[in-house]
Amino acid sequence: MAFCDPSCDVIIVGGGPAGMVLALLFARQGLSVTVLEAACTFERSFRGDTLHPATLELMAQLGLAEELLALGHTRAHAARYVGRAQTLLLADFARLKGDYPFLAIMSQSHFLKFLHRQLLAYPKARVLFGARVQGLCEDDARGKRAGQVVGVRYQQGGTEHRLTAPLTVGADGRHSKVRSLAGLKLKVLTPGQDVLWFSLPKHVRDPHGSIDLHVGGGHCLVTTDHGERWQVGFSLSKGSYADARAAGVNAVREATAAILPWLGDRLGLLEDWNQLRLLSVEVSRLRRWYRPGLLMIGDAAHVISPIGGLGINMAIQDAVAAANRLTLPLRQGRLQTRDLAAVQRRRGWQIAVLQAQQVVEERQVVNMTGEPEAVHLPMLLLRVVNRVPVLRRIPAYVTAYGLWPERLNRRWQVAEVQPETVQPA
């Protein structure tokens, strides 16, 4: 028999960036919020680590940007294509107007812990770790729409729990359990690719200040500066992971050395396959992000390719759009399905356009992985963009903000509930 928890206003399944930001925005307005996080801590390697200007501006609206940027991070002022004979700008963030003309590269675990500390200051908000959702609670009572989601069943520490709320939000990532339980189906737009992530030490003489794309030898490599280390993404064609693992870590070392010879002096530290982490990549989205009483956001609603690092940015903007639209109906106790549909209308077209762009970009990268200096259409376009200042601003703006950036409603910028003083974790 499940233990019945006291009801709350909002249940958020998933303690990633979208779920934690949405929880904080709701908690500031006095709503009671429970975040259910399946993992026992925020400590997980090789998650998205870029905080875009749109996210930093949101933190500034909440009065938290200065404190956030006091945490350890590096700053990428550009994204570049680095070939053997030329380097081309993919996005020049230094040209952006605003207070944050850069991407802040920060361990996602540090960002999530920061949000958690802020959330702990609100007595009606909580995060439950090790809480694994087992099912959705539905209300078929008279006067209610059949199949309306009214909460979840979850397991924590071997105990079954039942928690109810007017709104349940699925923010549990690309492999969303909530999405599966709700019977919502993804539309796959491209088979994508697989990416192996690994870390290597950073030396003083290494490049810095940008996120770099390197292609050649059938692979695409991305290097991201994390201060004392490089995070390297090594692409594989979709479905080739088993063959790559059979070839062993030495094959990854050799291919990396051929494309990035300046890393050759430390590739010997990559000794074991367990030092690699696999990210299976695809571009897909839900046709419908909601059911009565349930809303999906972030990767749970739309899986975005790592190209451009848009995933976290788009997920957090989903959270802002949801807070803007749903706070008042929740506070007044009149949340309707049409409110959930309005969130998808606001965000869905932007995601569709960006995903279409990513499908094209992915095909372009695949075309470029053979001979990096060959005259492909993508290379010609890059050269044109680099020579026209007005065009150079477009990729940076879209990467930084999306197509139509979500700004927190002025009504919700000032917290209705003042945070209590809490000790840093």
pLDDT above 90 (res 239):
no
Q: Which of 5-14, 53-62, 82-91, 367-376 has the lowest mean pLDDT?
A: 367-376
- Which of 168, 178, 175, 171 is CA-nearest to residue 316? 171
Strand pairing report for 167-170 and 294-296: parallel
Give the pLDDT band of residue 351 (cuts 50, 70, 90): very high
How far is CA 131 from its chain centroid? Answer: 21
pLDDT above 80 (res 287):
yes
pLDDT above 70 (res 1):
no
Q: What percent of the chain has pLDDT over 70?
A: 87
Mean pLDDT computed over 389-418: 82
What HEC string does 338-407 produce? HHHHHHHHHHHHHHHHHHHHHHHHHHHHHHHCCCCCCCCHHHHHHHHHHHCHHHHHHHHHHHHHCCCCCC
- Helix-helix angle 389-401:53-61, to 10 degrees: 60
Mean pLDDT computed over 386-393: 64
pLDDT at 198: 94
Q: Check if CATH label 3.50.50.60 holds for domain 3-189+282-406.
A: yes
Mean pLDDT computed over 284-304: 95
Mean pLDDT computed over 302-329: 90
Q: What is the pLDDT of residues 184-237, one digit of tens each?
A: 999 988 766 788 999 999 998 888 888 998 887 777 899 999 988 999 999 888
- Residues 87, 234: Cα–Cα separation, whole Å: 19
User: Mean pLDDT in the chain?
Assistant: 87
The Cα angle at residue 172 between residues 32 and 408, in degrees rounded to 5: 55
pTM to 2 decimal places: 0.91
pLDDT at 215: 81
Give the pLDDT band of residue 65 (cuts 50, 70, 90): very high
Give the pLDDT band of residue 69 (cuts 50, 70, 90): very high
Mean pLDDT computed over 313-339: 96
Tokens of residue 411, six digits: 């009504």
Tokens of residue 359, six digits: 């499908």
- Which of 7, 65, 62, 16 is CA-nearest to residue 36? 16
Q: Which of 59-68, 150-159, 216-225 has the lowest mean pLDDT?
A: 216-225
pLDDT above 60 (res 356):
yes
Give the pLDDT band of residue 391 (cuts 50, 70, 90): low
Give the pLDDT band of residue 141 (cuts 50, 70, 90): low
Give the pLDDT band of residue 411 (cuts 50, 70, 90): confident
pLDDT at 96: 92
Mean pLDDT computed over 8-30: 97
Domain boundaries, the chain: 3-189+282-406, 193-280
**8, 17, 139, 156 from 32: Cα distances, Å:** 5, 19, 21, 20
Mean pLDDT computed over 91-109: 92
Give the pLDDT band of residue 373 (cuts 50, 70, 90): very low
CB atoms within 10 A of CB 289: 26
pLDDT at 310: 81
Give the pLDDT band of residue 147 (cuts 50, 70, 90): confident
pLDDT at 4: 80
pLDDT at 366: 57
Q: What percent of the chain has pLDDT over 90?
A: 61
Give the pLDDT band of residue 153 (cuts 50, 70, 90): very high
pLDDT at 384: 55
pLDDT above 50 (res 377):
no
Q: What is the pLDDT of residues 163-181, one digit of tens each?
A: 999 999 999 999 999 999 9
pLDDT at 86: 75
Which is more confidently placed, 258 or 385?
Answer: 258
pLDDT at 425: 47
